[in-house]
Amino acid sequence: MNRNPGGSTPPTTGRRESQTTGFFDQLDATELYCPRCKQSNPVRKHLLLVLPEGDKYEYRCAICAESVGTKIDRHQESLSIIV
**Domain ranges, residue 57:** 27-74
- Work out how many domains the chain is built from and give that number: 1
Size of the chain, expressed as the number of residues it contains = 83
Please tell me the distance from the alpha carbon of residue 76 to that of residue 22, in angstroms, as a whole number: 12
Phi, psi of 15 (to 5 degrees): -65, -45
pLDDT of 83 reads 74
- Residue 49: inside a domain: yes
- Residue 83: inside a domain: no
- Residue 57: inside a domain: yes
- Residue 9: inside a domain: no
Contacts of 52 (CB under 8 A, 6+ apart): 79
- Residue 8: inside a domain: no
Please tell me the distance from the alpha carbon of residue 82 to that of residue 76, in angstroms, as a whole number: 18
Which pTM does this prediction carry? Answer: 0.62
Mean pLDDT of each 10-residue bin along the chain, 83 residues long: 52 53 74 96 95 92 96 74 74
pLDDT of 28 reads 86
Which residues sit opposite 39 in a β-bridge?
34
